[in-house]
Structure 1
Amino acid sequence: MTFARTSSTTILIAGALLATATAATAGPIDDRQARQGQRIFQGIQSGQLSYGETAQLVQAQQRIQAMKMQARRDGFVDPWERARINAAQNWQSLNIWVKKHN
């Protein structure tokens, strides 16, 4: 991978992570989403994550964001929805760790 591609890729992915993390920042679910985005970005900067790994993690972050937005559509996140989102975030946290340490 050339430096130019890495730089533009990093900027593109950082933008996607920032958009995901700041789409709706209120509460512990959003705080956790933002922290996971930061972990992915740190993996990009340190070289621990490849382009493919980063793309997979960003897509998963976007799916979790979509789950959150779906849960909030009715103005209330019920306990079942919160548990489902939390489980997805737990799985994503593990995926981030595995991909950064392989």
Structure 2
Amino acid sequence: MTILKTILITGALVATATAAVAGPIDNRQARQGQRIYQGVQSGRLTYGETVQLVQGQTRIQAMKMRARADGFVDPWERARINAAQDWQSLNIWVKKHN
């Protein structure tokens, strides 16, 4: 595995794992980061696929930060984040099994 891949995956895991203390949405984000990392370790994910998945994780993290900016995550925001995580989960599965 190249150094760049390792740095990229480690950065994604740190970003998702540090937020994992706050609740179920964050726990799911951390688990998805672990799934991506496992895909890289096993060789099932190419560099391009990994970059796409990490960018998706970053977008979801940004959604969560915007939702929390006012100190409260309303049901509409939570539903949007859950839908984005559902989509990301499907993307991870598809890219690991293609």
Which band: TM-score by shorter chain?
over 0.9
| Correspondence 1:21 to 2:16 | yes
1:48-85 deviations in Å (ceiling 9; x for gaps): 00000000000000000000000000000000000000
Aligned counterparts of 1:74 and 1:57: Cα–Cα separation in 2: 28
What is the TM-score of this pair, normalised by structure 1?
A: 0.90
**2:93 and 2:84 mapped to 1: Cα distance?**
14
Counterparts of 2:36 and 2:70 in 1: how far apart (Å)?
Answer: 30
Tell me by how many angstroms 1:37 deviates. 0.1
Partner amino acid for 2:10?
A: G
Kindly indicate whether the alpha-carbon contact (under 8 Å) linking 2:5 and 2:47 is maintained by their aligned counterparts in 1: no
Question: Which structure 2 segments of 5+ residues have no match?
Answer: none
Instruction: Please list every run of 5 or more consecutive structure 1 residues that lacks an aligned counterpart in the other structure.
Output: 1-5
User: Which entry has the higher C-alpha Rg, 1 or 2?
Assistant: 1
Task: Report percent identity of matched pairs.
Answer: 70
Aligned mate of 2:68, from 65, 72, 80: 72
Say which SS state the counterpart of residue 39 (structure 2) adopts. helix
- Residues in 2 aligned to 1:51 and 1:90: alpha-carbon distance in whole angstroms: 22
**Match 2:3 to one of 2, 8, 18:** 8
Matches within 5 A, 1:24-39: 24-25=19-20, 26-39=22-35
Aligned residues: 97
The alignment's C-alpha RMSD in Å is: 1.0
